Amino acid sequence: MSEKTPRSYYHSNRYNAQDACKHCNGAIRHARWCITVNREVFYAFEIVSDSTALTVGDSLILHSLGAAWVGSKQ
């Protein structure tokens, strides 16, 4: 009879800044509004970071409201 002990994994509730998500600072789980979990928040983050990621439909809506979504000129 083999006396192998089962492999156990232990979870610590200590906060570790290196392991935390860089978007929501979630160490154990992501927040509901984190871009890694929520598609709408990811889309908003993406279009703020890169104005070319704006969909045609959203571009038309903004145009009809008189707004222009353009990138910054550096």
Q: How far apart are CA 8 and CA 15, in angstroms?
A: 21
pLDDT (tens, 9 = 90+) of the chain, 74 residues, equals: 455 555 555 555 555 566 688 888 777 788 888 988 899 999 999 988 888 889 999 999 999 999 887 776 54
Contact 70, 48 (CB under 8 A): no
- The CA-CA-CA angle for residues 10, 12, 17, to 5°, reads 135
**pTM greater than 0.85:** no
Q: What is the per-residue pLDDT for 22?
A: 85
Judged by phi (left if over 0) then psi (alpha if -120 to 50, else beta), residue 30 lies in beta
CB-based contact 21:30 (threshold 8 Å)? yes
User: Residue 16's pLDDT is what?
Assistant: 57
